Amino acid sequence: MEDLKELVDQDEVAKLIEYCEELEFKLAATPDDSVNLDEFYGAFLAAYLIQNELPSARFLWKRIPEEIKTSSEQLRAVWEVATDLWQRDYTPVYYSVEQKPWTPLIGSLMKKVAETLRERIFALLSEAYSSITVEEVSNFIGVPVDRVAQVTAERGWIYDAATNTLQPKKIVEPGIDRSASLGSFSRLTDLVIHLERS
C-alpha cells in the first residue's frame, strides 16, 4: 500500500491505474489481509474517474466484492460520484468532493477528480458555446455564481454584465498542417494505385 500512496503523492494517475490493475490480479490469486481494500478500491475507482474512464470504473465496481461495497461508506461515496459523472450531473460531483468525509488518500484523489472534470468542462464549453449564462457555467464548473466572472476572466472569457452572459475564449491548440496531411494522403493514394496496377 506504500506504493499506492507514493503514486498518489506523485500525481502519477496512469501509473496508479497500472499498479492497481496488477494488484487486483495478485489479490484475486492470493488474498492479502495486509491490503486495506477500502482504500485500494477507492483509489482505483477514483483514478479511473480522473482519467475519465467511466466504463472501466463501472466494470471495476461490478468486480468489487459485495461485502466490501456494503461495508465501505467511502467506497460507496466514490461510486456515487462515478454515477453522477456517468449521468452528466456535475453539481453533485463538486458537492460530494467538498463535503464527504474522505480519508487523506482518497480525498486528494477526489479533489483531482473535480479539477480534471472542471478542466474538461472548460474545454467543452469553449468549443460548444459562443455565449452562455453565468448560472449555467456555475452549474457546469461547480463555482458559486458570484465567482464565475472572476474564474472565467482568468481564462480570457468576456463577461457581459447587461445580459449576465459569458463569451468563452476558444482554446487554440497547435494544429496539424492540413496541407502537409493532404499531400501525404495524395502520395499514399498514388502509391496504392501504382501497387494495384502492378
Query: Which sequence spans correspond to the domains of the chain?
Result: 2-128, 129-198
pLDDT confidence of residue 187: 65
d(CA 91, CA 85): 10
Work out the pLDDT band at 192, boundaries 50, 70, 90.
Answer: low
E-only strand ranges, the chain: 132-133, 158-160, 165-167
DSSP state string for 126-157: HHH-S-EEHHHHHHHHT--HHHHHHHHHTTT-
> pLDDT tens digit string along 21-49?
999 999 999 999 999 999 999 999 999 99
CA angle 83, 85, 89 (to 5 degrees): 95
> pLDDT tens digit string along 135-191?
999 999 999 999 999 999 999 999 999 999 999 998 766 554 545 556 666 666 666
The CATH number of the structural domain formed by 129-198 is 1.10.10
d(CA 168, CA 128): 9
Q: Pairing state of beta strands 165-167 and 132-133?
A: antiparallel
Classify residue 83 by burial, with Cβ atoms within 10 Å: 0-12, 13-18, 19+. middle
> pLDDT tens digit string along 60-95?
999 999 999 999 999 999 999 999 999 999 999 999
pLDDT confidence of residue 196: 62
> pLDDT tens digit string along 98-115?
999 999 999 999 999 999
For the beta carbon of residue 145, count every other beta carbon within 10 angstroms: 13
d(CA 178, CA 20): 40
Q: Which of 28, 30, 64 is nearest to 44 (CA)?
A: 64
Work out the pLDDT band at 8, boundaries 50, 70, 90.
Answer: confident
For the beta carbon of residue 1, count every other beta carbon within 10 angstroms: 14
Q: Which three cell numbers stand for residue 188?
A: 499514399
